[in-house]
């Protein structure tokens, strides 16, 4: 958790009050880390609100609490500028990945050219993973499109690194926990994606889940075609606000005779949207993963902006699949 660097940065800035922000999986560490911050003489305040990514910095909270600095744990820097000085503690995982990569290799016998991807928690393992694959006779590629902090890194809504090499590889190996990011790799590239899951020590394919999501997306688009009243959601979280994209989407839908309103929203929940019963379709310009992963929770179809273009015939389903479901 880079305790020494954190203390050093606080002292360097002369911060007297510090806001600590954690994603859900790391919140249990917060009281211990707050005590370490306290030793510098600064007052630590822990943000207890949910935090979904580095798009979700607590800027307004930091300003209203009058803090001198925010310490964001668990993600790498995403926004170009922060209004409150912010340091990022990426929280690298100490788990060994070799065994699960060996297991994953047995699922990749038919492919020669492999792309690698991971989250910031495991970027330090990519050199080792590459070596294991090369020893097994594979050709390995790691994309670096320059948008994220590290080559090969993916985040929930940015797969530019894998996208940049997708045409040159037959399959991807994702190193890391869970399904969320690996599914994003598959949906962005439409390539077979194998997960080397070091926490449970197993390897698996996300193919079936990707197929299920694709079918669901198609069903959502079909249902939305009959919709008349559209709402374009404008995210209020600092790193999720895409007002220009929302305004443009509104214009394009109106040109196709849809009635469109803009909804500014911080937390996109079924309860919040239920208050607008006349809306037939939501187009989400904030976090695209809410449309992709949580769609079943909403009463009406929720689409990404590209899916909305498919609904009004400006983009074909085939073009969308080629582009990748999570590409903007
Ligand atoms: S917009 Fe969504 S997917 Fe992207 S970083 Fe934020 S929470 Fe994650």
Q: For 77-93, write each residue's pLDDT tens digit.
A: 998 889 999 999 998 99
Pocket-testing residue among 24, 25, 51, 56, ligand 1, by greatest number of atoms within 8 A of Cβ: 56
CATH pick for 3-89 out of 3.40.640.10, 3.40.50.11840, 1.10.10.10, 3.40.1260.10: 3.40.50.11840
| Residue extents of the structural domains in the chain | 3-89, 98-205, 211-323
| 93-132 pLDDT, tens digit each | 999 999 999 999 999 999 999 999 999 999 999 999 999 9
Pocket-testing residue among 51, 53, 120, ligand 1, by greatest number of atoms within 8 A of Cβ: 53
Distance in Å, CA 289 to ligand 1 centroid? 7
CATH superfamily name and code, 98-205: Diphthamide synthesis DPH1/DPH2 domain 2 (3.40.50.11850)
165 and 139 Cβ atoms separated by less than 8 Å? no
Counting residues of the chain whose pLDDT is more than 70, the rounded percentage is 100
Look up residue 202 and give its DSSP letter: E
For 27-40, what is the mean pLDDT? Answer: 96
Taking the whole predicted model, whether its pTM rises above 0.75 is answered as yes
Looking at domain 211-323, its CATH class is: alpha beta
Pick the closest to residue 284 from 216, 228, 227, 232 (CA basis).
232
213 and 312 Cβ atoms separated by less than 8 Å? no
| 175-188 pLDDT, tens digit each | 999 899 999 999 99
List alpha helices for 15-154, DSSP H. 30-38, 59-65, 98-105, 126-135
Residues with CB under 6 A from ligand 1: 52-53, 55-56, 155-157, 240, 287, 289
**Topology match between the domains 3-89 and 211-323:** yes
């Amino acid at each position: 958790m880079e305790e020494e660097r954190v203390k050093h940065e606080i002292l360097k800035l002369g911060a007297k009050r510090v806001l600590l922000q954690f994603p859900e999986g790391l919140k249990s560490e917060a009281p211990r880390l707050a005590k370490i911050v306290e030793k510098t003489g600064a007052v630590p305040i822990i943000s207890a609100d949910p935090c979904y990514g580095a798009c979700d910095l607590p800027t307004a909270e930091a300003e209203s609490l009058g803090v001198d600095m925010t310490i964001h744990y668990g993600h790498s820097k995403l926004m170009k500028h922060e209004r409150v000085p912010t340091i990022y503690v990426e929280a690298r995982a100490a788990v060994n990945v070799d065994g699960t990569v060996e297991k994953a290799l047995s699922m990749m016998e038919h492919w020669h050219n492999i792309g690698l991807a991971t989250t910031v928690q495991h970027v330090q393992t990519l050199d080792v993973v590459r070596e294991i694959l090369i020893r097994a006779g594979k050709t390995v590629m790691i994309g670096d499109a320059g948008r994220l902090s590290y080559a090969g890194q993916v985040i929930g809504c940015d797969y530019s690194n894998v996208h940049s090499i997708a045409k040159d590889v037959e399959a991807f190996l994702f190193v890391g926990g869970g399904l969320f990011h690996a599914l994003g790799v598959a949906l962005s590239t439409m390539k077979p994606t194998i997960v080397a899951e070091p926490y449970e020590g197993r390897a698996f394919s996300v193919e079936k889940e990707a197929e299920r999501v694709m079918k669901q997306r198609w069903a959502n688009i079909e249902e939305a075609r009959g919709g008349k009243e559209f709402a374009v959601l404008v995210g209020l979280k600092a790193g999720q606000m895409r007002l220009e994209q929302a305004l443009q989407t509104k214009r394009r839908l109106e040109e196709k005779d849809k009635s469109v309103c803009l909804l500014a929203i911080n937390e996109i929940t079924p309860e919040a949207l239920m208050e607008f019963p006349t809306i037939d379709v939501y187009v989400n310009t904030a976090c695209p993963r809410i449309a992709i992963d949580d769609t079943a929770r909403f009463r009406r179809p929720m689409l990404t902006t590209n899916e909305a273009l498919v609904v009004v015939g400006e983009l074909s389903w085939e073009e969308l699949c080629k582009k990748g479901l999570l590409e903007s």
